[in-house]
Amino acid sequence: DAGVTQSPTHLIKTRGQHVTLRCSPISGHKSVSWYQQVLGQGPQFIFQYYEKEERGRGNFPDRFSARQFPNYSSELNVNALLLGDSALYLCASSLGEKLFFGSGTQLSVL
């Protein structure tokens, strides 16, 4: 069975641009959550979606938004990119309270 898949694996953007990151959960998992991980830190919670509804939101500005589709895949959108948005963006699907992570999208903002 396929695990959580994320695309793209790497991305380079410039300040002010917009980015869309994509995630496909493990088959049968209805919940998807997004995390930002800066080097040397633990993942920081951004959003959780369940059955297309937002269930939780972390302490991130409104430039960050997300959605979940009927097939449970998800997109994370970030507008007006800042240098500080450079990080590894991880998606996780969950069954109950256990998270299964994708390998992430490494975003570099120049």
Residues found near other proteins in the complex (CB under 8 A): 33, 35, 40-45, 48, 55-56, 58, 90, 97-104
Q: Cβ of residue 39: shortest distance to other proteins, in angstroms?
A: 10
| 83 DSSP assignment | G
Any idea which residue has 């980015």 for tokens? 19
Question: For residues 15 and 55, which CB has a smaller minimum distance to other proteins in the complex?
Answer: 55
- 74-78 and 87-95 as β-strands: parallel, antiparallel, unpaired? unpaired
Q: Cβ of residue 16: shortest distance to other proteins, in angstroms?
A: 28
Question: For residues 42 and 70, which CB has a smaller minimum distance to other proteins in the complex?
Answer: 42
C-alpha angle with apex 39: 35 to 23, nearest 5 degrees? 30
